Amino acid sequence: MEKINKITISYDSDDDILDIIIGPSAQEAISIEQEDEVFLRIHPESREIVGMTILGFKKYLLDDKEKGKKLHEFVVESVA
């Protein structure tokens, strides 16, 4: 697995879509729905995660908060 040196996060407030790109730029990928409206993007050859998209991002966070869940946490580990 290659060292991740760049993560780009963008949010489209008009359509309420959060998009995360892992790596220097967007890559060819296959989208796999993990749960309703949450998609992981997987590189078709290396099978590595190259991104993530959450449709209805605000609703996704608010629904979990109303159900008593904590906000989602993302942990990034760095190897120096």
pLDDT value at residue 45: 92
Mean pLDDT of the chain: 80
pLDDT band per the 50, 70, 90 thresholds, residue 5: confident
Nearest to 4 by CA among 22, 20, 21: 22
pLDDT value at residue 78: 45
14-44 tens-digit pLDDT: 999 999 999 877 788 999 998 888 999 999 9
9 token code pair: 């996060």
Residue found by looking up tokens 């780009």 in the block: 8
38 token code pair: 């949450």
Task: Locate the domains of the chain by residue range.
Answer: 7-66
Nearest to 50 by CA among 68, 72, 75, 32: 32
pLDDT band per the 50, 70, 90 thresholds, residue 79: very low
